[in-house]
Amino acid sequence: MTDTADFLFELGTEELPPKALTTLRDALEDEIRAGLDEAGLSHGTLTAYAAPRRLAVLVDALAAATAPKPVERRGPAVKAAFDADGNPTKALTGFAASCGVEPGTLETLKTDKGEWLVHRHTEPGQAASDLLPGIIERALDKLPAPKRMRWGTSKAEFIRPVHWVVALHGEQVVDITLFDHAAGNRSHGHRFHHPDALTVARPADYAATLRDSGHVLADFAERRARIEAQVLAAAEAAGGRAHIEVALLDEVTALVEWPVAVAGQFEERFLEVPHEALIYTMQDDQKYFPVLDDNGALMPWFVTVANIESRDIQAVRQGNERVIRPRFSDAMFFWEGDLKTPLESHLESLKHLVFQKRLGSVFDKVVRLERLAETIAELIGTDPQAARRAARLSKCDLQTQMVGEFAGLQGTIGRYLAEHEGYPAEIAVALDDHYRPRRAGDDLPRNATAQAVALADRLDTLMGIFAIGQAPTGAKDPFALRRAALGVLRILVEQQLDLDLHELLTAAAEGLTDKVPEAGDHVLGVFEFITERQNRYSLDRGIRSDVFQAVSMTGTRRPLDFERRMQAVNAFIALPEAEALAAANKRIANILKKNDTPAPATVEEPLLHEPAEQRLWEAVSAIGPRIEAMIAEGDYTEALTRLAALRDPVDTFFDSVMVMADDLELRANRLALLARINALFLAIADVSQLQS
């Protein structure tokens, strides 16, 4: 073997969990790289492969051995190594013996602290063939396996039963046995197209050998790209465009080794069922890709991806059409049944559906939502009665047959039924949109009524769960309160609703008093919980934590106002005057804090003797009223920009004026001047909190 050669490791298994496949692939690559680096084996690029029945890593130019390394071992001090007659002491002979050399071959090392005897030698490198078995074993042990299992009579454990192992360094098989299988250079192709063994002559030939001879695309990205292209082409041939969700594309890629896209049809009569239910069935149950027309409406077509290049593609198509038909028939049966029952008629049955043991039934929650949504609607200037009506109907679809079958469509089914019954669009949309945002990055409610119900729903849940003492702890959040808090913030901030969060929580707590009399005691706790989520929400958007801290000192209780202040401070810190003004404000705050008595409320102009304090007062007097007007209008960015003009007079003031003068009148007046400046800044944010 030359000094370097490519290395291939492949583990052949039963079908691996599709949703974990890329995680396993990446982890195996990372662990092997870490093992090679830790062992000191030099190497080139690593390429990871993953298919349903295999995980593999190809390492370019892996060294045959670690590099030899010089070793210096220090022995006894020279004066302790020889006796008075110059003969070696036991310390010297013992050290030499432990090194396997004669005392006379040792060298002398001179240091600032004296002379020492040392043994220098070169430690030979370790062969890669000796190191690789341990590296591979440790890498497999560290894989984030969803669940390990045993098979047959073996005591070996892995995610799925293992059938073969390839470990090839150059043309040499690495001597390693894993899961009762000795490594070789024989892989296996597609389960049906090429079930026999395939010889991998060289590691670099791995992907090409599997593709050309074994009908296996081992590279996940290559397979994914081929699936996407085939699905798009099949949908286009059917006259539409494929609806491809990333998660489904990844899952299908993890399910097939040799993808072949096949378009299928279903009867148009099924399109009378809400399209979301049909898409849910296609994507979640069957792993099919729906086909949409140019307007985004569902067409009676789907695209499936087979794992075989069938001689009779028509049979594959008909088989998939037969599978989807009874599922759609069930959906139509449930939908037609739900159409016969008024949506509001399900309200009474919500009394038997528990929301939370101490907080009562879903019906009890709906009663609370009606009152709270009505209150919020008044605050945001929309129809309170429409919000109350939407809240009343908001959970009724939970008792429909469709939601019973398609749980992920709660809200969506309510909207369809409300539209069918002729409810105003504002209310029908709210039945669906009050669940928005359902997940990170999701769309927000589309109308004001939906906003009112969405806020009411989340605030009631947050207050109720906190009130019964089940706030999130650590990573545990069974009621998804963090997501609910973020939803509240996104609606208030991104949809420009300038509401007092503390007042909203107080209103929510009042609705809970019949279930939890002490609910009001938890308003502050929930307020702080949501405020902490706003900190995380801000950090995710690139706003520094010290900016958040500066604004939090103002005590504002309106998340939108909080956001506007943070944006203003964010703009302020980009100004050239920002750092000096922040430092000056810190100095002002410290001076005012150390003063025993509060500064006077007004500045007396006759007591301003120094030119620097006169100039500063003129600057403050000139911009103060305009700044206060801007603050009253919420124009914090412009206000801070104007305040930046105080930098020069403030610097001159501190350079020229003794604030803590012996004359008590002068001192008090100067403190009043500083307090006036401090108040202007504090009305927006405490910029003294900003880090340089």
Give 436-488 pLDDT, tens digit per residue.
999 888 899 999 999 999 999 999 999 999 999 999 887 788 889 999 999 99
> Is the CA virtual torsion 13, 18, 22, 28 positive or negative?
negative
The answer to whether the 346-542 and 572-689 domains have the same CATH topology is no
CATH architecture classification, 572-689: Orthogonal Bundle (1.10)
Annotate 134-149 with DSSP letters as a single string: HHHHHHHHTS--S--B
Q: Which residue has the higher pLDDT, 109 or 334?
A: 334
Alpha-carbon separation of residue 211 from 126, 140, 257, 258, 467 (angstroms): 35, 25, 10, 9, 60
* pLDDT tens by residue, 527-551: 999 999 999 999 888 888 989 999 9
β-strand 197-199 against 181-182: which pairing, if any? unpaired
SS3 61: strand
From CA 370, how far away is CA 265, in angstroms rounded? 44
Segment (H or E) for 27: helix 21-39
pLDDT at res. 72: 84
Q: What percent of the chain has pLDDT over 70?
A: 99
Structure tokens at 330: 């069930």
pLDDT digits (tens, 9 = 90+) for 587-624: 888 888 887 778 888 888 888 888 888 998 988 888 88
Predicted pLDDT at 576: 83
End-to-end CA distance of the chain: 58
Amino acid present at 355 = F
- Mean per-residue pLDDT of the chain: 92
User: Residue 516 above 80 pLDDT?
Assistant: yes
pLDDT at 2 over 60: no
What is the model's pLDDT at position 120?
A: 86
pLDDT one-digit tens code per residue, 251-274: 999 999 999 999 999 999 999 999
Tens-digit pLDDT profile for residues 313-343? 999 999 999 999 999 999 999 999 999 999 9
- Residue 111: band (very low, low, confident or very high) from pLDDT cuts 50, 70, 90: confident
What would the DSSP string read from start to end of 91-108?
HHHHHHHHHTS-GGG-EE
Nearest to 504 by CA among 480, 472, 527: 527
The yes-or-no verdict on residue 645 having pLDDT over 60 is: yes
Give me the CATH topology for the region 346-542.
Hypothetical protein af1432 (1.10.3210)
Q: How high is the pLDDT of residue 441?
A: 85
User: Is residue 483 within 8 Å of 536, Cβ to Cβ?
Assistant: no
What is the Cα–Cα distance from 10 to 12, expressed in whole angstroms? Answer: 6
Q: Tens digit of pLDDT for each residue in 49-62?
A: 999 999 999 999 99
Q: Kindly indicate the confidence band of residue 653, based on its pLDDT and cuts at 50, 70 and 90.
A: confident
**Residue pointed to by tokens 């020889």:** 82
At 410 the pLDDT is: 95
- Residues with Cβ within 8 Å of residue 420, at least 6 apart in sequence: 339
User: Domain extents for the chain?
Assistant: 4-65+127-214, 69-123, 220-339, 346-542, 572-689
Query: For residue 78, is pLDDT > 90?
Result: no
Report pLDDT for 1: 44
Is residue 87 over pLDDT 90?
no
Q: State the pLDDT confidence band at 509, using cuts at 50, 70 and 90.
A: very high
Per-residue model confidence (pLDDT) at position 600: 80
| Spatial separation of the C-alpha atoms in residues 673 and 229, rounded to whole Å | 70
Tokens encoding 462: 């947050």
pLDDT tens string 142-196: 999 778 899 888 888 999 999 999 999 999 999 999 999 999 999 999 999 998 9
- Tell me the per-residue pLDDT of 20-57, one tens digit each, with 9 for 90 and over: 999 999 999 999 999 999 999 999 999 999 999 999 99
- For residues 591 and 585, what is the distance between their CA atoms, to the nearest angstrom? 10
- Give the pLDDT confidence score for residue 444 in this predicted structure: 95
